[in-house]
């Protein structure tokens, strides 16, 4: 995924809002289970176009949160 200026702005906003909470954030069991189900189904029988889109969105959100967590660590270490 290419990180654009818009991505950077969102990542910075999320990370600065409350760095400790950003670092501690974990998706719910329901969200994790759905993500794992989609990956398993993709490997086994393939996904519908709607499921592919849903999986792509999970991947984008995961990437943004990883970037926000990295930025939150930077903010905490700089303080």
C-alpha–C-alpha distance, residues 23 and 4, integer Å: 22
Q: What is the mean pLDDT of residues 9-25?
A: 93
Name residues whose C-beta falls within 8 Å of residue 65's C-beta, 6 or more positions apart in sequence.
14, 22, 25
According to the model, what pLDDT value does residue 4 have? 86
pLDDT at 42 over 70: yes
Query: Could you list the residue range(s) of the whole structural domain that residue 42 is in?
Result: 5-78
Q: Are 72 and 22 in contact (CB under 8 A)?
A: yes
Encoded tokens for 3: 């990180």
pLDDT at 36 over 80: yes
**Per the structure, how many domains does the chain have?**
1
Smallest CA-to-CA distance from 63 within 55, 73, 74 is with 55
According to the model, what pLDDT value does residue 40 have? 98
52 in helix, strand or coil?
helix
């Amino acid at each position: 995924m290419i990180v654009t200026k818009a991505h950077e702005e969102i990542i910075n906003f999320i990370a600065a809002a409350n760095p400790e909470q950003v670092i501690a954030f974990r998706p719910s069991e329901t969200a994790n289970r759905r993500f794992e189900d989609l990956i398993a189904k993709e490997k086994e029988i393939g996904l519908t176009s709607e499921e592919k889109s849903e999986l792509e969105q999970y991947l984008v959100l995961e990437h943004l949160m990883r970037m926000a967590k990295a930025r939150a660590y930077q903010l905490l270490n700089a303080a």
